[in-house]
Amino acid sequence: MPACLDSLARQTGESIDTVIVDNASTDGSAALVAQNYPRARLLSLDKNYGFTGANNAALRDALSRGSEFALLLNNDTYADPDFMAELLAVMDSDPKIAVVCPKIYFAAQPTSLWYAGGDFSLWTGLTKHRGWKQLDKNQFDAGGDITQATGCAMLVRASAMREVGLLDERFWIYAEDLDWSVRFKKAGYRLAFAPRARLWHIDGATNVKVLGKGSEERRQFLSTRNMIFVARKHVRWWQAPSHALGFAVRHVAFYTALRLWRRDFRALWAIYRAVGEGLSTPLHSEDETKVDTDPVRARG
């Protein structure tokens, strides 16, 4: 986290109001922020509400104070000094842009791409990061539209959030950014990629703390269940056959084989538990995404 906060303090030409949400951590993070970053606002939650709940608390706080934009940023990242200026330059180019995402690198391999835009198809259920693990040779510097934003780092327009709603907290973590991307697109907004806004990501560090080490059971369960949530919320009947086939092959069959090969039987069983929960959980209400101005929503 210090690398992330220090890089935000070094942004050129932009004054950033930094809000840190503490998801009931026990590792001394809140004390570190209070001691070393007194200008940052700290929202302390009474328990771990996951990626969606924590980010929504910050988004409600930003909206309640009249912010025009909000940047969601993982704490295991650090940014180039022109990062915010480049994101805003793309955002300001078109009022129909709801989200702008930067070019993201692996921190351990600073020229290797983690994300250079993302794509998702409701027809196939296929998601991908453009440029994944490729050396950056400026091959993605044309920028342009994307169809899948990443929750790792996204600048979001407040007026679009008020229309579309916040992250769906039923997801907790994984695919919540995909769901949000589809909702923005359905509302007629654009999602854009800013290739000159550069960020480095310590891949998976936060998720390991949240979900724990060892078996991939929890990660496998949530990612599988949440992709079914996305399908149930957004796939039309005429897209359902090809989407179901793509999900069965690329997700269920692939991860079944992977978990068998790795002999991670807890994660293997999690795939099928997730399919059951994903299909049976009621999704008739969008109450979780409504915008209100209480940043903690009675959460202590």
SS3 readout for 67-121: CCEEEEECCCEEECCCHHHHHHHHHCCCCCEEEEEEEEEECCEEEEEEECCEEEC
**Is residue 129 situated within a structural domain?**
yes
**Contact (CB, 8 A) for 275 and 224:** yes
Write the CA distances from 114 to 73, 74, 178, integer angstroms: 15, 14, 16
**Is residue 41 situated within a structural domain?**
no
CA distance 67 to 77: 23
Q: Are residues 102 and 199 in the same domain?
A: yes
**Contact (CB, 8 A) for 77 and 102:** no
**Contact (CB, 8 A) for 68 and 157:** yes
pTM, full prediction: 0.92
Helix axes 2-9, 29-36, angle to 10 degrees: 30
CA distance 226 to 237: 19
Write the CA distances from 293 to 24, 67, 88, 258, integer angstroms: 21, 12, 24, 44
CA distance 278 to 107: 34
**Is residue 6 situated within a structural domain?**
yes
Q: Which of 181, 208, 235 is the last residue of a domain?
A: 208
Q: Are residues 203 and 156 in the same domain?
A: yes
Q: Are residues 192 and 105 in the same domain?
A: yes
User: Which residue range is the domain that position 100 belongs to?
Assistant: 2-14+68-208
Q: What is the pLDDT of residue 210?
A: 47
**Is residue 37 situated within a structural domain?**
no
**Is residue 53 situated within a structural domain?**
no
Q: Are residues 199 and 258 in the same domain?
A: no
φ, ψ of residue 33 in degrees (nearest 5): -65, -45
Q: Are residues 131 and 219 in the same domain?
A: no
CA distance 182 to 100: 14
Q: How many domains is the chain built from? A: 2
Pairing between β-strand 118-120 and β-strand 109-115 as defined by DSSP bridges? unpaired
Q: CB atoms < 10 A from the CB of 116, how many?
A: 23
Question: Which one, of 158, 161, 156, 138, lies nearest residue 192 by Cα?
Answer: 156
Instruction: Find the length of the chain.
Output: 300
Q: Are residues 222 and 78 in the same domain?
A: no
Q: What is the CATH number of the domain that holds 7?
A: 3.90.550.60
**Is residue 47 situated within a structural domain?**
no
**Is residue 190 situated within a structural domain?**
yes
Mean pLDDT, each 10-residue run in order, the chain (300 residues): 91 86 85 86 92 96 95 96 97 98 96 97 95 96 96 97 96 97 98 98 60 77 98 97 97 97 96 98 75 50
Q: Which residues pair with 128 in a beta bridge?
A: 119
Q: Are residues 145 and 238 in the same domain?
A: no
Q: Are residues 73 and 198 in the same domain?
A: yes
Q: Are residues 138 and 190 in the same domain?
A: yes
**Is residue 286 situated within a structural domain?**
no
Q: Are residues 123 and 237 in the same domain?
A: no
Q: Are residues 107 and 244 in the same domain?
A: no
Tokens of 173: 């973590």
Q: What is the pLDDT of residue 30?
A: 82
Q: Are residues 193 and 257 in the same domain?
A: no
